[in-house]
Chain A
Amino acid sequence: QSALTQPASVSGSPGQSITISCTGTSSDVGGYDYVSWYQQHPGKAPKLMIYEVSNRPSGVPDRFSGSKSGNTASLTISGLQAEDEADYYCCSYTSSTTLVFGGGTKLTVL
């Protein structure tokens, strides 16, 4: 199972919006509405930010939103804040009843 494709890095200034893409295939991202997104700060465990494509767990700011079109899912962060600087990973359920993560995207807040 190949990893989902994410950009290695993205950046933005405080207050701006950024979008991180996550591209898979019809056997994973495109085939199911089971895409989740995780934020990971250095040395810490990942944190769930979005589940089932666009749902936000309680406690996650509404600045974080998710969507999907075809085989590509996206995480958008609006109103960037310094504390948003972290690594972000997408994850999808697959037709093999497994899970697959993206390679991760490093977000830098300038």
Chain B
Amino acid sequence: EVQLLESGGGLVQPGGSLRLSCVASGFTFSSYAMGWVRQAPGKGLEWVSSISGYGVSTSYADSVKGRFTISRDNSKNTLYLQMNSLRAEDTAVYYCAKGIGGLKYGIDYWGQGALVTVSS
């Protein structure tokens, strides 16, 4: 059974940093692209970032480019999102996402979400 378990969410002040982690199980982690999708309170889904199976290729939404960094450790079956220079508008539930091969084909499994709140 595929499982994605996020951790690392919480309350952070504007300008601060936070690192999200997502531990995956139930599939060959390195064979699949992974990503992060967020949802602000009461709002729709927003794609944040994607990374290829071996971490060679990454991409980011314009709204987070230069502030967020996606990475993965295939030896630990873990996906990361390092978030720096956080802003109030980054407040959201962040979902870890597994691609059907690549994320462009579709996201077939989602984590339960980690809430990030940026506020003073």
Same complex for A and B? Answer: yes
Is A104 in the interface zone, CB < 8 Å from B? Answer: yes
Is A52 in the interface zone, CB < 8 Å from B? Answer: yes
| B94-113, CB < 8 A from A | 95, 100, 103-108, 110-113
SS of B interface (majority): strand
Report whether B45 and A101 are in contact in the complex, using a CB–CB cutoff of 8 Å. yes
The total of chain B residues at the interface (CB under 8 A) is 23
Least distance between B81 CB and chain A CB atoms (Å): 15
Q: CB-CB < 8 A to A69: which residues of B?
A: none
In whole angstroms, how far apart are the Cα atoms of A87 and B39 in the complex?
Answer: 13
Task: Give B93's nearest chain A residue, CB to CB.
Answer: A45
Q: CB-CB < 8 A to A1: which residues of B?
A: 61-62
Give the contacting residue for B44; candidates A36, A97, A102; CB below 8 A: A102
In whole angstroms, how far apart are the Cα atoms of A77 and B106 in the complex?
Answer: 19
Report whether A51 and B100 are in contact in the complex, using a CB–CB cutoff of 8 Å. yes
Is B47 in the interface zone, CB < 8 Å from A? Answer: yes
| A28-75, CB < 8 A from B | 32, 34, 36, 38, 40, 45-48, 50-52, 57
| A90-110, CB < 8 A from B | 91, 93, 96-104
Is B89 in the interface zone, CB < 8 Å from A? Answer: no
Is B78 in the interface zone, CB < 8 Å from A? Answer: no
The total of chain A residues at the interface (CB under 8 A) is 28
In whole angstroms, how far apart are the Cα atoms of A34 and B37 in the complex?
Answer: 17
Report whether A45 and B45 are in contact in the complex, using a CB–CB cutoff of 8 Å. no
In whole angstroms, how far apart are the Cα atoms of A51 and B115 in the complex?
Answer: 27
Report whether A48 and B45 are in contact in the complex, using a CB–CB cutoff of 8 Å. no
Q: Mark B16-50, 1 if CB is under 8 A from A, else 0.
A: 00000000000000000001010000001111001
4 closest A-B pairs (Cβ-Cβ)? A51-B106, A93-B104, A36-B106, A99-B47
What 18 new A-B contacts, CB under 8 Å, besides A46-B110, A99-B104?
A1-B61, A1-B62, A34-B104, A34-B106, A45-B112, A45-B113, A46-B107, A48-B106, A51-B108, A57-B108, A89-B44, A98-B47, A98-B59, A98-B60, A99-B35, A101-B37, A101-B44, A101-B46
